[in-house]
A and B are shown apart, each in its own frame.
Chain A
């Protein structure tokens, strides 16, 4: 097979895959908008469980990560900038870019792979069939709670990450180093705008939808073999991360260029 044909075939396959994911996303969003009457209470409970697993349990991971990244950035840029632009740099790096991206990465590592594996197992062990045979809509019962749970969790963790990285990072640097970061918090307050927070939150929502759609799609797409599950989990994680990076760049370009 010639290299051109190979590239062409891969491109077509990728576009087809992205179109399928977009169709799946639109099905989920339509269902979320429609909110069928049956199963609402159960779906709400599963969504709350998902928020607990994805947001509350992830706090023990995101807080140290935010502290480490926040202090590292403040240390590096306090030397480099001589304090003048430290607030601006912190806002640009942490609130606009790293906050949503690192939060998404942690959610992908902790929850997206778990969701793919869980739904993959449910598919292989015929539990999805069992749900359907009980008259339960799988998209409504399995995917929507994860969509709501993961998106809410990313929003919450994004805010936590920003606060811990900026304030915690500042506290760490102020406590353990002699670097001159005296005006840092005032500079942050002057640099941050409502648009920065709104764009960060918008990114978090987009990441939540992307991660849930990609991970549940790969889980539900597992067919018969249990050996398909690790492959699906790996593909889901890589795709989630790649799509989130692309979306991050697109949103940044849209709002800040």
Chain B
């Protein structure tokens, strides 16, 4: 079964930003798609389309067989919270501590204000060496620490799709080993992934599909 399917999608033109020509795309359990694109903006736009952050001018978005209604933001939010989005524009909430950032989604959903981090998340914080910085705000952290927190937040929630931008450089070389291990464990569970990368070894070892996105046209490389 196709977990996510974008049908006859056209993304709007806004000023100078790139547009995606009409395309269709689907992804199922176990798919790991490498997105080959020379221009980062196209990749960002495609990721935003998959993450339902960019609404289409035309076309339909099917999520586990159900067509999404973009006029009902609440139903779109239910989709968003199952998609891991680890790209350069991903951010932490700056007026909240790392702990609050990591517990925000649970606090919101469960109406619970306790800032207790579950054991699995805290273990990840320890592995990424941010456990002792958990009560600091993003402004007090190094960029690598912020990105580690983003990775932990997104990986912990990604159940339907994971969107990654250049994982080999996202956390720097030091953090890649752990990040790579985490990604592979998710891929082994069948979580579909779409990623961009310039690391041929990584691409060859994880991907089972290749997409080409050039000049706003998306097609699959056979």
* Contact residues in B for A37 (Cβ distance below 8 Å): 111
| Cross-chain contact B107 with A41 (CB below 8 angstroms) | yes
| Cross-chain contact B90 with A130 (CB below 8 angstroms) | yes
Residue of B nearest to A27 (CB): B73
* Contact residues in B for A127 (Cβ distance below 8 Å): 91-94
Residue of A nearest to B108 (CB): A39
1/0 per residue, CB under 8 A from A, across B50-70: the answer is 010100000000000000000
| Cross-chain contact A40 with B89 (CB below 8 angstroms) | no
Whole-angstrom CA separation of A11 from B127 in the bound complex? 59
Q: How many Å from the CB of B138 to the closest CB on chain A?
A: 10
| Cross-chain contact B111 with A133 (CB below 8 angstroms) | no
Contact of B174 with A by CB under 8 A: no
Contact of A193 with B by CB under 8 A: no
| Cross-chain contact B73 with A134 (CB below 8 angstroms) | no
| A39-B108, A41-B107, A135-B105 given; A125·B78 CB < 8 A | no
Q: Which residues in window 218-233 of A have CB below 8 A to B?
A: 223
Count of chain B residues with a beta carbon within 8 Å of a chain A beta carbon: 29
| Cross-chain contact A42 with B107 (CB below 8 angstroms) | yes
Q: How many Å from the CB of B61 to the closest CB on chain A?
A: 15
Binding-face segment, B5-13, B25-33, B80-88, B118-126? B80-88
| Cross-chain contact B113 with A131 (CB below 8 angstroms) | no
Contact of A68 with B by CB under 8 A: no
Contact of A171 with B by CB under 8 A: no
Q: How many Å from the CB of B91 to the closest CB on chain A?
A: 4
| Cross-chain contact A136 with B111 (CB below 8 angstroms) | no
Contact of B140 with A by CB under 8 A: no
Whole-angstrom CA separation of A135 from B105 in the bound complex? 7
Q: How many Å from the CB of A25 to the closest CB on chain B?
A: 17
* Contact residues in A for B111 (Cβ distance below 8 Å): 37-42
| A45-B113, A137-B73 given; A129·B108 CB < 8 A | no
* Contact residues in A for B90 (Cβ distance below 8 Å): 126, 129-130, 133
* Contact residues in B for A40 (Cβ distance below 8 Å): 111
Q: How many Å from the CB of A219 to the closest CB on chain B?
A: 14
| Cross-chain contact A135 with B81 (CB below 8 angstroms) | yes
Contact of B142 with A by CB under 8 A: no
| A126-B90, A127-B91, A127-B93 given; A132·B108 CB < 8 A | no
Q: How many Å from the CB of B95 to the closest CB on chain A?
A: 8
| Cross-chain contact B53 with A129 (CB below 8 angstroms) | yes
Contact of B204 with A by CB under 8 A: no
Residue of A nearest to B88 (CB): A126
| Cross-chain contact B113 with A129 (CB below 8 angstroms) | no
| Cross-chain contact A38 with B85 (CB below 8 angstroms) | no
* Contact residues in A for B51 (Cβ distance below 8 Å): 133
Contact of B117 with A by CB under 8 A: no
Q: How many Å from the CB of B112 to the closest CB on chain A?
A: 7
Contact of B104 with A by CB under 8 A: yes
* Contact residues in A for B107 (Cβ distance below 8 Å): 41-42
Contact of B74 with A by CB under 8 A: yes
Q: How many Å from the CB of B110 to the closest CB on chain A?
A: 9
- Most chain B CB within a 10 A radius of its CB, from A118, A137, A141: A137
Q: How many Å from the CB of A50 to the closest CB on chain B?
A: 12
| Cross-chain contact B53 with A132 (CB below 8 angstroms) | yes
Whole-angstrom CA separation of A118 from B53 in the bound complex? 21
Contact of B141 with A by CB under 8 A: no
| Cross-chain contact B77 with A135 (CB below 8 angstroms) | yes
Contact of B109 with A by CB under 8 A: yes
| Cross-chain contact A134 with B94 (CB below 8 angstroms) | no
Listed by A's residue number, 22 A-B pairs whose Cβ atoms lie within 8 Å are: A36-B74, A38-B111, A39-B111, A41-B111, A41-B113, A42-B111, A42-B113, A45-B113, A125-B94, A126-B90, A127-B91, A129-B89, A132-B77, A133-B53, A133-B83, A134-B81, A135-B81, A135-B105, A135-B108, A136-B77, A136-B108, A223-B14
Instruction: Report which B residues bind A (CB closer than 8 A).
Output: 14, 51, 53, 73-74, 77-78, 80-81, 83, 85, 89-95, 104-105, 107-109, 111-113, 153-154, 157
Instruction: Report which A residues bind B (CB closer than 8 A).
Output: 36-42, 45, 118, 121-122, 125-127, 129-137, 141, 223
Known: A39-B109, A42-B111, A134-B157. 10 other contacts (CB 8 A): A40-B111, A41-B113, A42-B113, A126-B90, A132-B77, A132-B80, A133-B51, A133-B83, A136-B108, A137-B77
Q: List the 8 closest pairs (A to B, CB-CB), nearest first.
A: A135-B81, A134-B105, A39-B108, A126-B89, A126-B91, A41-B111, A135-B77, A130-B91
